[in-house]
Amino acid sequence: MTKIEELEIVVDSLPEEEYRRFRRWFLARDWRKWDKRIKNDSDAGRLDFLKQEAGEAKTRNKLKNL
């Protein structure tokens, strides 16, 4: 049995409140990793094209209000 399969069994057996707590923890962990990845990409200039596209769209009055 793999570790993933073991985790699946454990997670499936959690009482509802513990499952919700685990899920909140896991999602928060996921978002922290995502935020770090985005920051690293931004710091490295890999997202500069988005700034450029937005600037060009603004110049052409093509931006939409959200």
- pLDDT tens digit sequence for 3-18: 999 999 999 999 999 9
Instruction: Examine residue 4 and state whether it is found in any structural domain, yes or no.
Output: no
Please tell me the predicted confidence (pLDDT) of residue 64.
Answer: 81
Please tell me the predicted confidence (pLDDT) of residue 65.
Answer: 79
- How far, in Å, CA of 54 to CA of 18, rounded? 43
Per-residue CA distances from 43 to 37, 39, 49 (Å): 10, 6, 13
Number of independent structural domains in the chain:
1
Instruction: Examine residue 54 and state whether it is found in any structural domain, yes or no.
Output: yes
Please tell me the predicted confidence (pLDDT) of residue 15.
Answer: 98
Q: Which domain holds residue 44?
A: 15-59
- How far, in Å, CA of 11 to CA of 25, rounded? 13
Instruction: Examine residue 9 and state whether it is found in any structural domain, yes or no.
Output: no
Instruction: Examine residue 48 and state whether it is found in any structural domain, yes or no.
Output: yes
Q: For the whole model, what pTM was predicted? A: 0.67
Instruction: Examine residue 28 and state whether it is found in any structural domain, yes or no.
Output: yes
Which residues in the chain land under pLDDT 70?
none
Instruction: Examine residue 1 and state whether it is found in any structural domain, yes or no.
Output: no
Please tell me the predicted confidence (pLDDT) of residue 63.
Answer: 83
Cα dihedral 18, 26, 10, 12 sign: positive
